[in-house]
Amino acid sequence: MSAKIVVGYDGSEASNRALEFAVERAREEGGSIVVAHVLEWSAYSFLTPSELEERHKRRNEELARAKEALMDPVVAKLADSGVTVETAIKYGHIANTLSDICKDGASQIVIGRDGDNNLGARIFGSVAGSLAQTAPVPCTIVP
Amino acid sequence: MFRNLTYAASAAAGLALTSAPAMAQTLDEKVNEMFANSTGWFVNFIFSPFPGTTFPWIVMWLVVAATVFTVYFGFIQFRAFAHSISLVKGDYSDPNDAGEVSHFQALATALSGTVGLGNIAGVAVAVGIGGPGATFWMILAGLMGMASKFTECTLGVKYRNEYEDGTVSGGPMYYLTKGFAERGVPGGKILAVMFSIFCILGAFGGGNMFQANQAHAQISGVVGDYPGWITGIVFAGVVFAVIVGGLKSIAKVTEKVVPFMGVMYVLAALVILLMNADKIGWAFGQIFNGAFTGAGVAGGMVGALIQGFKRAAFSNEAGVGSAAIAHSAVRTKEPITEGFVSLLEPFIDTVVICTMTALVIIITGQLLQDPNTGLYMLDEGGATIQTIDGNKGVALTSAAFSSAFGWFKYVLAIAVILFAFSTMISWSYYGLKAWTYLFGEGHTKELVFKVIFCIFVVIGAAANLGPVIDFSDAAIFAMAVVNIFGLYFLMPIVKAELESYLSRLKSGEIKKYV
C-alpha cells in the first residue's frame, strides 16, 4: 500500500521544511503527498450585514489567492520530484481541519514548527501542539 | 429596537433641549413645525387607534398576521424549534461550505439589528403602564411573531438576487417583485417601491436619529450634560469609518461586543432572579393575575394587553421585513432553513431578553402596590404605575438592575450605546439595499446614501426632532403594512417549500453532517 502523507503548508519557512521532509519520505516509500492549507474560519464569528453580503465573493477571492500564491508554486516546484502531489485548501479551525483531511486515507501528517515559545502559544496552544495531541494518524513535527 | 418610547424619548428630548444652543432650538422648532404640519396626518394614520379604544390598528395588523401565519403553518415555531437550533449549531451544514455565511452568522447579524433600546427601555415603559400582566401578552405576541419572521425570511432567501461576482441582495423588495410575478399577481413592483421608500425613511429615523438621540441621552446621563452635536460628530465619524471607509476593525469589535453585552445582560438578570428566588413564584403570580385582571392598572386587562402586544411588535420587528434583508445572505440550498433559523430571533429578542427586563423590574419591587388591596398604585395622571423613585423608561430598568448591583448602571449605559451603534450599522444596510433597489447599484449612488446617513446621525444626536422621529417610526410600521400584505399572497409558496423540506427530512434525504 502506498503511503499518503498530509503536509500542513502555509508558505512559512517551517512549513517548507516540513514539505521537504515529507517529500523525502514519500519518495523513499513510493507514496504521495497532500499539500494542505487551512484558512482560519469559524462559523460562529460575527459579521456586519455588508460582510455577509460579500462573503461568497470574498471566499472565492481568498481561495483563488491561496491557490495562486501558495499551491501553484509548490506544485510547480515538486513537478519533477517524482512524487504525486495533491493539494487541499480548506476553511476552518486549523488543527481540526488538518485532522479531517487526514481521515481521507492518509498514513501520516507532517507539520513544521517555528520553535517560538511566545506568550500567545503558551496561552492558546499552537497548531503543532494540538495536532500532536489530536491527529488521527501518526504526526511528525519538523523543527 | 427603535420604537419611540414616549417616556424615554421625552427624557431625551429634555436633555437635548437643555443642551442645544438657543439658535439650534429655534431651528429645531422650525423644522419640527414644518414636519409636523406636512407629515402629521401620516403619523396619525399609522398609529391611530381603533375607534373608541386606545388600541393602535397597526399593532393589531402585526398580531393578526402573526396569528394567521402561526395557524397556517401549523404552529411551526414550536414544531421546528429543536430543528432550528440544530441548524444554527451547523449540524446540517456541509463542511465543504466552510468559509461561507453560516446560519449562526446570519442570525447573529440580524439579532444585533433588533436587540436594542426597546429591550431595555421599551419594556420598562410597557410594564410601567400595563403592569406585570403586560409581560404575559408580550411573551404571547413574541411567540406568535416567530411565525411572521419564518415566513418573511424564507421568502427573503428564496427570491434574493445572486450576482455574478458572488454578492447577494435580498429582502421584501425582491420577493414582492419576483414572487408576485411568479404567482401572476399584479402590483408587486408598486409594493416593492413603496416598501423601499418607507425603508429608507425608517433607516434615517428610527434606525438612526432615534438611536443617536438615545445614545446621547445615555452618555450625558452618566458623564453630565454637554452639547449633543459632539456625540453626533463622534458617532457619525465612527459610522462613516465603518460604512464608507470599510473600516472592518470597528465593526468587528462591535459585532463581538454586542452579543457579549446581550449575554451579560441576561446573565445579570438571571443572577438577580436567583437572589430573589423566593419571589419568583410571586412574580409569575403577578404576571398571570395582571394579564387577566389588570390588577388596577390603567385600562385594566385590555391596558395590559395593549402594552404587551405593542412592546413585542415594536421590539422584534417581526413582519416589518427588515430581517428578511439581513437573513438573505446565508449560504444554503434550502431557503426554508433560514426561515427556521430566523424564528429564533423573536424568541431571543422578546421571549428571553424582554422578559428578563420585565421580571427584574417586577421582582425588585420597583412598581408600588397598595399594601391593603394588592393593586398597583397609579401616579397623579392615573396613566402610569408609581415607582420607587418615580423612574420611567430606561431609568426604571437602570434602577431595577442597580438595586442589586450598584455599578450596573454604567454597564447598562455602555450596552445602550453599543446596541444603538449596532442598530445604526444594521439599518444603514437595510436603507442602502432599499436605496439601490430604487436607484440602482453603483459606487457614487451608494456613497450619496451613506453620506446622508452620517449627516442624519449628527442631526439625531444634536436636535430634538420629535415629529421627524415620529414620522420615521411611522415609516417603519408602514413597511409592515406593505410587507405583510405581500406575505399573505406569498405564503402558499412558503408552505410548498415547507412541506417539501419536511418530507425530505423525514425520508432521510436531508441528513446531518455531524
Pick from A39, A40, A56, A90 the residue to mutate for testing the B interface (most B CBs within 10 Å).
A56
Q: How far from B505 is each of A54, B82, B85, B146, B500, CA to CA, in Å?
A: 30, 13, 15, 21, 9
- Count of other CB atoms within 10 angstroms of residue B461: 31
For the sheet containing A32-40, what is the strand order?
Answer: A84-92, A32-40, A4-8, A108-112, A139-142
Mean pLDDT of chain A: 85
DSSP B392: -
Q: Identify the H or E element spanning B71.
A: helix B57-72
**Res B464: pLDDT:** 72
Number of domains in chain A: 1
- Which of the residues B115, B157, B255, B261 would you substitute to probe the A interface, choosing the one with the greatest number of A C-beta atoms within 10 Å? B255
Domain boundaries, chain B: 6-507
Q: Which three cell numbers stand for residue B473?
A: 417610526
CB contact under 8 A, A48 and B425: yes
Which of chain B's residues have a Cβ under 8 Å away from the Cβ of A53?
A: 167-169, 329, 429
CA max distance for chain A: 52
Q: What is the pLDDT of residue A2?
A: 66
Q: In terms of residues, how long is chain B? A: 514
Question: Is the minimum CB–CB distance between A91 and chain B shorter than 8 Å?
Answer: yes
pLDDT value of residue B211: 85
Contacts of A66 in chain B (CB under 8 A): none
- The DSSP code for A126 is -
Question: Residue B94's pLDDT is what?
Answer: 84
**CB < 8 Å to B167, chain A:** 53-54, 56-57
pLDDT at site B371:
80
List Cβ neighbours of B378 (8 Å cut-off, separation of 6 or more). Answer: B296, B297, B298, B384, B385, B386
What is the nearest CA distance from A20 to chain B, expressed in angstroms?
A: 28
Cell of B451: 453620506
**Left, alpha or beta for B47 (phi > 0: left; psi -120 to 50: alpha)?**
alpha
When computed from its CA atoms, the radius of gyration of chain A, rounded to whole angstroms, is 16
Low-confidence stretches of chain B (pLDDT beneath 70): 1-28, 247-249, 251, 255, 296, 298-299, 465
Nearest Cα neighbor of B99 from A135, A45, A124 is A45
A1-18: buried (b, 16+ CB within 10 Å) or exposed (e) per residue?
A: eeebbbbbbbeeebbbbb
- CB of A48 less than 8 A from some CB of B: yes
DSSP type of residue A35 = E
Q: How far is CA B345 from the centre of its chain?
A: 10
> Any idea which residue has 417586577 for its cell?
B362
- Model pLDDT for residues B170-226, shown as the tens digit of each residue: 999 999 999 999 999 898 999 999 999 999 999 988 888 888 888 888 788 778 888
Q: Helices (DSSP H) in B132-279: which residue ranges? A: 133-158, 172-183, 188-204, 210-223, 228-243, 248-275
Average pLDDT over residues A1-13: 83
What CATH number is associated with residue A51? Answer: 3.40.50.620
Minimal Cβ distance to A52: which of B90, B101, B258: B101
Q: How far apart are alpha carbons B353 and B359 in whole angstroms? A: 10
- Which candidate from A52, A57, A60 shows the least CB-CB separation from B109? A52
Nearest CB partner across the interface for B167, out of A44, A48, A54:
A54
A49 with B243: Cβ contact below 8 A: no
What residue numbers bound the domain in which A16 lies? 4-142
CA B103 to chain centre: 20
Chain A residues close to B325, C-beta within 8 Å:
49
**pLDDT value for B272:** 92
Q: Kindly state the average pLDDT of the residues A40-53.
A: 82
DSSP sequence for B439-489 = H---HHHHHHHHHHHHHHHHHHHH---HHHHHHHHHHHHHHHHHHHHHHHH
pLDDT value at A123 more than 90: no
pLDDT score at B482:
95
CATH code, B6-507: 1.20.1740
